[in-house]
Amino acid sequence: MIPVLAVVNPAAGGDTGALMRALEKLDAIALRSIETTATSTEARVVEQVLAYRPDVVVAVGGDGTAGQVAAALRMLDELTGQAPALLIAPGGTGNSSFRGLWGHRPWEEVVTIALRPEPPWRAIDLARLEEFEVPVLLGCAAGLLPATLLAATEIEGHGRDLLLRATVAAAASYRPFPGRVIVDGEILVEDRIVVADIGGMRHRGGDFRLLPHSILDDGLLDVCVATAVVDLPELFRVAFTGAIDDLPGVHYGRGRRIRLERTDGEPLLIEHDGELMPGTHTGYGLHILPRALRVLTPECDGP
């Protein structure tokens, strides 16, 4: 039987119970589960992996949980030279990390593909957020995306409905910030910024394709910047189609190191992997960690 460790965030915005029941039905795995909180995930994953030696760790939560489990596995790989593969479950509000790997496949189908002998896997890129010295799985963003996370704390609800209502609420009062984005030492854009998204996965907020050209293992970070001239309703519309970089006022780039800065000296609010970070710096740098994490994926080749 395949030893599997499930890391469950009971506070996640999705139905983690249903996801766990699908795992419990599988005869081919020996399942152990732990519950975590945002402040304890990485330490508990490292501790449990060293004790249990699973072949696969399942992150049962949202993008934040997936990012924290990925960080723990990256830490283990750096310390010991090996780490289990990661399987991401769609247990949160946006589930963009799951979407980036598995598309719209039902979870019941995903587990039958992923949790079997010699499952399909892929080594994908991560980024490192330099000021906090943490790995980044999904991406890092400034502007409207962290503003949406703040708005969501004031709105009742869960899942995609909460995310959409929080986006609308944040957009209604959002003011662009004066900023600059630098890609491999060259200025990509210096303007009033509405959204700046940096990462390796194509989706944010569920189905918004803010990084439509991103490839999971090409050794490059993608960045998409929407400036104040962008029409927000049109931005949301084209983000669903993946044609966002054709929109006037949108700048797109790719590189090994990307820096995002405020140019007015004020602290810059950012999020990474769906989690708000302390606004302690006026700018942040990210660099690529090529093929730094093994993830379970569909058998077909993906982006």
Instruction: Name the pLDDT band for 233 (thresholds 50, 70, 90).
Output: confident
Distance CA 88, CA 122 (A): 13
Q: How far, in whole angstroms, is CA 177 from its chain's centroid?
A: 23
Using CB atoms within 10 Å of the CB of residue 80, give its burial: 0 to 12 exposed, 13 to 18 middle, 19+ buried.
exposed
Is pLDDT at 29 greater than 60 in this prediction?
yes
Instruction: Name the pLDDT band for 22 (thresholds 50, 70, 90).
Output: very high
Instruction: Name the pLDDT band for 302 (thresholds 50, 70, 90).
Output: low
Distance CA 112, CA 80 (A): 29
Instruction: Name the pLDDT band for 279 (thresholds 50, 70, 90).
Output: confident
What average pLDDT score do residues 279-291 get? 96
The dihedral formed by the CA atoms of 251, 254, 258 and 262, expressed in degrees to the nearest 10: 0
Helix, strand or coil, per DSSP, at residue 17 = helix
Residue partners of 40: CB distance under 8 A and separation at least 6: none
Is pLDDT at 150 greater than 90 in this prediction?
no
Domain 136-291 sits in CATH at 2.60.200.40
Please give the model's pTM, rounded to 2 decimal places: 0.93
Instruction: Name the pLDDT band for 80 (thresholds 50, 70, 90).
Output: very high
Q: How far apart are the first and last CA of the chain?
A: 31
What average pLDDT score do residues 241-256 get? 92
* Per-residue pLDDT tens over the stretch 166-217: 888 888 889 999 999 999 999 999 999 999 999 989 998 777 899 999 999 9
* Per-residue pLDDT tens over the stretch 207-227: 789 999 999 999 999 999 999
Tokens 């999904």 locate to 138
**Would you kindly state where each structural domain of the chain is located, as residue ranges?**
2-119, 136-291
The radius of gyration of the chain from alpha carbons, rounded to an integer in Å, stands at 19
Give CATH superfamily name and number for 2-119: Probable inorganic polyphosphate/atp-NAD kinase; domain 1 (3.40.50.10330)
